Amino acid sequence: MHSYRIVCALVAATICLASMAQNNTSSPYSRYGLGEMRDPGFGRSQAMGGISYGLRDKNSINPANPASYSAIDSLTFLFDLGASGLVSSLTDNSGNKTSRNGNLDNLAMEFPLGKFIGASIGLMPYSTVGYNYSISGSTSFPQLTDTLNYTQSYIGSGGISQVYGGFAVNLFKHLSLGVNVSYLFGSLDYARALTVSDISNTNVTFHSTTESVAIHVSSVNVRLGAQYTATFGNKQAVTIGAMFEPKMNLHGSYDMLLLGLDSTINQPTSNFFQTPMQYGGGFTYTYDNRLTVGADWLFQQWAKAAFYGQTGVLNNRTKLSCGGEYIDNPFGQTYLQRMSFRAGFNYSNSYVNINGYAPPTMAFTCGFGFPLRSTKSLINTTFEYGITGSASATSIRDNYFRFTLNLALDEMWFFKRKL
């Protein structure tokens, strides 16, 4: 029976790996930097506003802080598969446009390696690129009695995914230390073109230089985590967590094709692109395994990470998150008593710099955990409504709604049955 489940998990991993090559964003802001960054976190964390550093639960996987893996029960195997759908409404002074996307988001497993050691492996997105828009206008030349129409077109696709493996160890009963090692891979493709036509002479239409850029990533990243849990009486507990990730080089290759100039640039990217040094901290307060509330703070030092070989091009990013969960009675006899109710909020500034403008993002989240009959497994749902940027003559407001569905299996594997 166990071998059958492992085969199913591997098949699902293959499907998930293939699907992650697809886009899961339509935001024009993903044109900048390495795309739209995706902070790690699965169903339960996402519905609680994205809090994760102090989140410690033996029934859910939390890759944002690898120190959480040691909370798993020594007889338990966890499996999490997530998919999401996204509806975006883009608005500027000229009008609005609606787009829809969907994708498989993550696949992960967690299991014990001993009484005090837990481990996890998984696949999840690091960043995504997906946009297709154009800007049109006209200009006149009185001296030449000509009027030119022009259209600037921008198209981008691709993404960076990460396969991670990590473990955590419990020390001195209250302290846990963990580490994740991730392999980042994928391609980001950007293209732009300028089309110009002379409307005073309809026989003359020409295309200027078209630029096509591809960034291919193949690199390794490391994340360290720590959690300290203090209990008060039999029902209360506070967990304080922290995360640190050093700056790393994005090894791979960088290609630029200039069609109008008939030239190609190809060079390695050992120090051309870098991930930022980042660190964060947070806490959760739990009462009677029924109420959980917490908050997180994240800092990413993008200003000192190389982008096209230069530092200072991107902005440092800060994110604040808060959220909570309520379960009436985890062992209740009615279904409603055992359901999980979650809600949260987060706010962050963008790491990209668009002519001095860094579009902020504000998001509200809520979700439910639906327990499966006679098991600890859950179907987790997350509803997220967010706003990125503002609508003006020089910027775009992205109002988005994301629905995420996670299957979180919790089963007892590591024990011998007796008759």
Structure tokens at 47: 């519905």
Q: Region 315-331: what's the mean pLDDT?
A: 93
Buried residues in 269-290 as b, exposed as e (16+ CB within 10 A) = beebbbbbbbbbbbbbbbeeee
The string of pLDDT tens digits covering residues 86-105 is 888 888 777 778 888 888 88
The string of pLDDT tens digits covering residues 259-312 is 655 555 555 555 688 899 999 999 999 999 899 999 999 999 999 998 888 888
CB-based burial of residue 406 (10 Å sphere; 0-12 exposed, 13-18 middle, 19+ buried)? buried
- Stronger pLDDT, 339 or 256, i.e. the higher one: 339
Which is nearest to 217 in space by CA: 273, 276, 163? 273
What is the percentage of the chain residues whose pLDDT exceeds 90?
Answer: 45
How sure is the predictor about 30, in pLDDT bands with cuts at 50, 70 and 90?
Answer: confident
Residue 157: predicted pLDDT:
87
DSSP 8-state symbol, 316? P
- Stronger pLDDT, 293 or 210, i.e. the higher one: 293
The string of pLDDT tens digits covering residues 363-381 is 999 999 999 876 788 899 9
d(Cα 21, Cα 41) in Å, to the nearest integer? Answer: 19
Domains in the chain: boundaries: 2-412
- Stronger pLDDT, 160 or 152, i.e. the higher one: 160
Residue 417: predicted pLDDT:
54
Residue 278: predicted pLDDT:
96
C-alpha dihedral sign at 385, 130, 300, 91: negative
Q: Per-residue pLDDT for 1 more than 50?
A: no
Out of 38-42, 276-280, 382-386, 389-393, which region has the weakest mean confidence (pLDDT)? Answer: 389-393
Domain 2-412 of CATH type 2.40.160.60: yes
